[in-house]
Amino acid sequence: MEIIGKVSKGSRMDQIYIPRNRIGLDIGSYAVVRPLEVKRFDEKPYFYNIKFIEPLKLGIVGEIMGAINRMVEDYENIIVTGSFLDKGFNFNDIDVIVVSEKKLDKRKIIREIENKIKIEIHFIVLSSRALIKGLSIDPLYQMMLSKCVSKKRFVYRFKPKMSYKILDLHLLKSKLLIDNFDDLNGNEKYSLIRNVVAISLFLKYKKVNKERVDKEIIKIFNLKSISEIKENMLDKGLFLKKYRVEYRRVFNKLMKGIRNGT
Amino acid sequence: MVHNRNKLIDLFVGNISNSIVHKILEKAIDTEEIGRRYDKEAITSREIARKYRGKINPIGTRLPEKDIEYIRNKIVNKVRAELGLRISKGYRNIDLDLIEGLVDDTLKNMKVI
């Protein structure tokens, strides 16, 4: 027999009340108490450009997708992405994107997931129109989906569209690396450098993904590895000299595009 | 990194200028989808400027007149130069008349004036 009961708060111990009139579960008998899972999530997710993922992370992905699946009725897809999917455990939070046309109670969902997995979540809700538009005009969106785990198989068809003024606006953010070099940490520096290089590749109509961008960063700035940036080990003078040149080159290319009327 | 007061003021000016240029360029783009909802790591110039403001004495109240004059002039000139560079390269639709108002609003918001 099975009885569903609610845990209620007691003064010294919490308890679960069950009806007195029941068949079985006699006084003095032992019972197993476990959480009630309304809908279990046991579908296999889809992996995009992931050669290896730790089993522990796979469990976390399952927990996240299961929790969203229970709480959100109407969604097109759930995507887990970001540095969480890189090898090892050097991540601060987990990027979770829910593709949905509906307005969702983000706070409630985040609280529920974070309570369950005890890791910070960066939760984004995007309509599929916004996602496709983002993919066509913004290299960062392309990077985001170049390596991910998703609940459903996806094929997002988009044509890269050069919106030079918007790219100029994104590039401007990376200018602060020049003035604030000493006060930024390694991850902040990496994000600003990655932004310039991703825009540069995008302008050449090249596919933008993390591996390609990292490779290009290493080539342009003559580094041994990306960890030189992330661990804040850059030689300021040498690096900024090259960075200024690269920034200016991308900026001029954008201005040329704007002048030609896009 | 520890900076002296003048260096902090220059860093503050640089970041505020960048954020004002960003605001004016946003207005020059006639499309609704310019936000980057995915961009969580992007630290903004405005946040950094606020951090520097918190290190410039007096904190929480307006700065001395000579500092205000220096900061205001420097921001206006920097923003004008950055936008002027774009205009000289053929960028149209930039409204330079917005500069002074935005500088004053931002400085009020940052408790400089």
Give A147-196 pLDDT, tens digit per residue. 999 999 988 888 888 999 999 999 999 999 998 999 899 988 999 999 99
CA A207, CA A139: separation in Å to the nearest integer?
9
Extract the tokens encoding B71: 């900061």
Please state the CATH superfamily assignment of the domain spanning residues A46-150 in this structure: Beta Polymerase, domain 2 (3.30.460.10)
pLDDT at B80: 97
Distance from CA of B42 to the nearest CA of A (A): 7
A42 touching chain B per CB within 8 A = no
**What residue ranges of chain A are covered by domains with CATH 3.30.460.10?**
46-150
- Asked if B91 lies within 8 A of A165 by C-beta distance, the reply is yes
Do the Cβ atoms of B11 and A255 come within 8 Å?
Answer: no
Say how far apart CA A142 and CA A138 lie, in whole Å.
7
Chain B residues closer than 8 Å to A95 by CB: 38, 40
**What b/e sequence results for A167-190 when a residue is b if at least 16 CB atoms lie within 10 Å of its CB, and e otherwise?**
bbbbbbbbbbbebbbeebebbbbb
Nearest chain A alpha carbon to B40: A122
What are B's interface residues with A at a Cβ cutoff of 8 A? 1, 11, 14-15, 18, 21-22, 25-26, 28-29, 31, 33-34, 36-45, 48, 86, 89-91
Q: Name the amino acid, one letter, at A259.
A: R
Which residues does chain A have with pLDDT short of 70?
37-42, 262
pTM: 0.80
CA atoms of A169 and B29, how far apart (whole Å): 9
Domain ranges of chain B: 2-109
Provide the pairing of β-strand A15-16 with A121-126: unpaired
Q: What is the ipTM of this complex?
A: 0.89
Question: Which burial class, exposed, middle or buried, applies to B81 when counting CB atoms under 10 A from its CB (0-12, 13-18, 19+)?
Answer: exposed
